[in-house]
């Protein structure tokens, strides 16, 4: 079995894939119920695990808001301290819900551009005359 530090350093998720998926899909009230069933050390590791993945930042903040500062610092050091502070910011309190994901934007510009086709100075008659002259030579 991994120690807390080993799990953090090896980037192992402290909960099963099913539990992580349930947390990801849960509404804020359901998330607090799911997180309450996780031990404090595993909860701190989970918050740090999610924080290292940009698509899970809001989930990390929601989980970290249920952790105490000592656990986050013991597991994550400075990152844990920062995560604790971020999860307690008043401006983020309304945005902690992981359901408030940033919208995906797609480019409206073409991915590549092509140079316009330029007509050569030769017209069809000149081209035919040149080919015929070269063939007869």
pLDDT tens sequence across 39-94: 999 999 999 999 998 888 889 999 999 999 999 999 999 999 999 999 988 755 44
What is d(CA 73, CA 57) in angstroms, rounded to the nearest whole number? Answer: 18
Whether residue 125 lies inside any domain: the answer is: no
128: pLDDT confidence band, cut at 50, 70 and 90?
A: low
Q: Are the CB atoms for 33 and 23 separated by under 8 Å?
A: no
| pLDDT value for 133 | 64
Q: Residue 27 domain-assigned?
A: yes
Residue 104 in any domain: the answer is no
* CA 125 and chain centroid, separation: 61
Q: CA neighbours within 13 Å on the CB side: how many for 110?
A: 3
Give the domain extent around 63. 4-93
In a domain, 126, yes or no: no
Q: Is residue 137 part of a domain?
A: no
Torsion of CA 21, 27, 29, 33, to 10 degrees: -10
- 79 lies in a domain? yes
| Model confidence pLDDT, tens digit, residues 85-126 | 999 887 554 444 445 566 777 777 776 777 777 665 555 566
Give how many domains the chain has, as a whole number: 1
Residue 111 covered by a domain: no
Q: How far is CA 49 from the centre of its chain?
A: 12
């Amino acid at each position: 079995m991994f120690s807390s530090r080993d799990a953090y350093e090896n980037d192992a998720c402290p909960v099963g894939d099913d539990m992580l998926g349930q947390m990801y899909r849960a509404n804020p009230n359901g998330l607090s119920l799911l997180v309450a069933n996780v031990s404090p050390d595993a909860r701190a590791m989970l918050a740090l695990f999610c924080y290292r993945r940009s698509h899970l930042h809001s989930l990390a903040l929601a989980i970290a808001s249920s952790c105490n500062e000592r656990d986050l610092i013991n597991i994550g050091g400075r990152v844990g301290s920062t995560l604790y502070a971020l999860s307690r910011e008043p401006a983020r309190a309304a945005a902690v819900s992981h359901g408030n994901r940033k919208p995906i934007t797609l480019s409206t510009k073409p991915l590549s551009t092509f140079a316009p086709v330029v007509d050569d100075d030769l017209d069809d008659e000149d081209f035919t005359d040149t080919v015929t002259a070269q063939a007869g030579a």
